[in-house]
Structure 1
Amino acid sequence: MSARTPPPPALTRWERRTEVPLLAASLVFLAGYAVRVLAPYDAQPWHDIALVLVGVTWLLFIADYAVRIRLSGLGHRFVRVHWLDTLVLLLPLLRPLRLIKVYTAIQKRRDEPRLSLYARVMSYAGLTSLLLGLSASLAVYHQEHDAPGASIRTFGDAVWWACATLTTVGYGDAVPVTPWGRVVAAFLMACGLALLGAVTGSFSSWLIQVFRREDEKEPPASG
């Protein structure tokens, strides 16, 4: 089965039923990771509780991935065809990138979309940017705050860095110095460019559509 072949009905039903619960599990994972990163070292039992939440939700992601491999009928090719799902499984902090599938699953349960195409793109990109920025801030702070020569010492520094990176501003006052911090930065830069392009393109198309409608409503000028 090629990448363009429609998925089996069983896989489609499974994804529709699990996307929203998995989104909730993603938020639980993010909350657990945040506690692990931000809570003081002696904050017990919160560290243990957070570790359990992170482990349990990750096991849910692995179980979902295994079920979808079986239902897809692709076998080992599933890893290549569904590369985003594979990447998200390995790096759960990137699960906000799957929000578009969650939104699609919700909309398929309705007769008509509640938002226009342009509004959907902008709302998806905005929510994805927010969650990715938070995830990147946590990951970079975790790697950088105690590294020698680091300029990102507090979580506030990490949030400021994530905002500057996502918006492609890049002030340069806070930059990662560790290898893994720079890996996170590279991912965030790529995602920031893609999301910014999606938002600006959709907003421009929406404005053109509005102006075209206004021109059509105006009566022709009399000679």
Structure 2
Amino acid sequence: MKQSKNNPIKFLAKLERKIIKDLEILNNHFHRFTNHIHPIKDRLVIKIKLYEDLNESQRKSVNYTFRKVYQITLEKHHEEWEKPHYLALGYLNNKLIAIRYIVLAEALFDGTPVKLAGTGGLLTLPSYRRLGIAEEIFRRVDDYIFDNLNIDCGLFICGKSLVKYYERLGWTKLTCYKLFYQNNDNKISRLKKYAVMIKSKSRIYNPELIEINGKLW
């Protein structure tokens, strides 16, 4: 701390980060209190839009949310992960507070062609977490991809610590598989460390070999 005080710019930047963090905590407590009276998820307006159709204002809101959660913009996110086709935007009082994106992809399951809706990027602003918002967006997007998109199943990857959370939302963890995809250099890579979650309405999929025609999401 003494070193920071000797550098006013660093000290003020550190102080600003602490104030922002404290405000987020206070706002979250406020939202959790009011949530018992009038649940936020019941007031949430969810719009699912083509990514290419976003206007400038919407793109700014999306990038603001990505920076708050991932410390990068969505465009920067594209450099490593697949670009989304659709975005589910969750609004409260015209403020964007949550996002989930949808990627349309093709894959081979044990050599058989499959159309996928890859979902990911489920993020909520810190002040609005643990209020049921993410779960509400997750369920709405699930309904949308199976009712409106010509797909065989949904698929996404996640950290192993999140498997039980997504299982409660109706997704299943693949237990025996090898998943390959194209990395940023267009070379074939094998997925490691992450869990693969899958969901389908009419058929049970449990492939041993998954080959994604493109980057992951």
Q: Same fold (TM over 0.5)?
A: no
TM-score normalised by L of structure 1:
0.28
The structure in which a higher percent of residues are strand is 2
| Higher-Rg member (1/2) | 1
The structure in which a higher percent of residues are helix is 1
Question: More relative contact order in 1 or in 2 (CA 8 Å, sep 6+)?
Answer: 2
TM-score normalised by L of structure 2:
0.28
